[in-house]
Structure 1
Amino acid sequence: MPYEPPTHAVERSLRATTGAKIIAGVDEVGRGAWAGPVTVCAAVTGLRRAPAGLTDSKLITPKRRADMALELESWVTSHAIGHASPEEIDDHGMTAALRLAAERALDALPVRPDAVILDGKHDYLGKPWQVRTVIKGDISCVSVAAASVLAKVRRDAMMAELGATSEECDGFAFHDNAGYPSPVHKAALAERGPTSHHRLSWSYLDALPRWRHLKKIRIPAQAELLESEGQLGFDF
């Protein structure tokens, strides 16, 4: 599929306007899943030429994505992964969970970035980080595209291993759906109910009479109320 390759335009702009030297591209995966963590990667790439074919992870086939991730691991200046668990998502909401995962990824980098590029419209990270949000940054921005691929491959591998090694997850086909809703996943939920790896505050439980009593009720934070009213521009 033809596409415009990502560039370093945003990284160069941040360098010119803020003096930032170390810039991390940040992207997440797993926001819309019903099971498993939300995973964030922070990638520092510098201004070197990107590997051929780098783009948003969703636009790359699984085989090419895995190969690209291996290439990126040695190509990026540094990268780190952070997760927020299903329990943290249930207890604090997705906005706070994204912040937790992003902070964990950024804190795990060997050198603290001077600036961060977040994919999407909304700055879920906030102070003290200097943040630039970029809509479709995983397509247009090299560091965010790299983070997109690395996050996706890492989380998919985690979910596949979970499906293969956890007896309670047998039959959920996490190796295929990575915890996202799919026919197999929905059928397993209806028959067996959620596992300890499912998000229990989510509305899918409303459609499962046998299991809806397990749903966690949580009062949304103000940021989530604004998000639900369309006042925050989350880019799903």
Structure 2
Amino acid sequence: MPYEPPTHTVERSIRATTGAKIIAGVDEVGRGAWAGPVTVCAAITGLRRPPEGLTDSKLIAPKRRTELAVLLEKWVTAHALGHASPGEIDELGMTAALRLAAGRALDALPIRPEVVILDGKHDYLGSPWNVRTVIKGDQSCVAVAAASVIAKVHRDAMMAELRGEFADFAFDDNAGYPSPVHKAALEVLGPTPYHRLSWAYLDALPQWRHLKKVRISAEAVALESGGQLGFEF
């Protein structure tokens, strides 16, 4: 299906109205998965012409997406990834987990962005970042599209590494999202250590429902951990 390639229109507008020159595009992957982390990529691209075929990662065939990610990692000015683990998602909720993962990605960049373009209409990042939200930014903005592809390929690779330990779940095929194979494995084997245990899918599995976690507040988590919200995945 034909599509319009992303442009630098949003970035140029931000530059013209704010004077900012260091602009990062941010996108996430894994929000709707039942297992695995939520992963965020922050990418700074400047105004150079991107590699051919760049668009929202969901519109690109897997093989080409992997090839494109390799090209993009060499092409971008800078990029970094941040993750929030399944346990953090259970404890904090998805919005706060996204904020945590995005903050980790942005903090890992070698240069600090003056403006951050977030895909979508909701600003889940907030202060101290100067945020602009763009609906379907992963299709229209070069920096966000680049972040979309890099995040997707990296998270898929992380989930594929679990194949040897949890072959029945086919994480290398579904990346932790619900699929017939994934659902069948859950019914028989129950959730793995990489599953999100506060999610509603457990309500439909009476034999495993006792494992469901009740989310506590982010403030309580911070207090219990001495103000530090770290993880290892």
Describe the SS at the equivalent of 1:42: strand
Note if contact 2:91-2:216 (Cα within 8 Å) is conserved in structure 1.
Answer: no
Amino-acid identity (%): 80
Report deviation, 1:66: 0.3
Distance 1:102 1:17 in 2: 25
Q: Deviations over 1:126-145 (max 9, x none)?
A: 01100000000000000000
Describe the SS at the equivalent of 1:163: coil
Note if contact 2:203-2:209 (Cα within 8 Å) is conserved in structure 1.
Answer: yes
RMSD: 1.0
| Residue in structure 2 matched with residue 124 of structure 1 by the alignment | 124
Q: Deviations over 1:107-155 (max 9, x none)?
A: 0000010000000000000011000000000000000000000000000
| Residue in structure 2 matched with residue 179 of structure 1 by the alignment | 176
Describe the SS at the equivalent of 1:133: strand
Report deviation, 1:220: 6.9
Describe the SS at the equivalent of 2:127: coil
Q: Deviations over 1:152-207 (max 9, x none)?
A: 0000000001222x2xx221000000000000000000000001100000000000
Distance 2:217 2:111 in 1: 34
Letter in 2 for 1:76: V
| Residue in structure 2 matched with residue 201 of structure 1 by the alignment | 198
Note if contact 2:36-2:176 (Cα within 8 Å) is conserved in structure 1.
Answer: yes
Report deviation, 1:16: 1.0
| Residue in structure 2 matched with residue 155 of structure 1 by the alignment | 155
Note if contact 2:122-2:133 (Cα within 8 Å) is conserved in structure 1.
Answer: yes
- Structural mapping, 1:1-236, within 5 Å: 1-164=1-164, 166=165, 169-218=166-215
Distance 1:20 1:130 in 2: 10
Report deviation, 1:55: 0.1
Report deviation, 1:89: 0.2
What's the TM-score, normalizing by structure 1? 0.91
Report deviation, 1:67: 0.5
Distance 1:162 1:18 in 2: 45
Note if contact 2:69-2:153 (Cα within 8 Å) is conserved in structure 1.
Answer: yes
Describe the SS at the equivalent of 1:129: coil
Spell out structure 1 runs of 4+ moving beyond 6 A: none
Unaligned regions of 5+ residues in structure 2, if any? Answer: 219-233
What's the TM-score, normalizing by structure 2? 0.92
Q: Deviations over 1:86-106 (max 9, x none)?
A: 000000000000000000000
Report deviation, 1:51: 1.0
Unaligned regions of 5+ residues in structure 1, if any? Answer: 222-236
Kindly tell me the number of residue pairs found equivalent between the two proteins: 218
Describe the SS at the equivalent of 1:181: coil
Describe the SS at the equivalent of 1:117: strand
Letter in 2 for 1:218: R
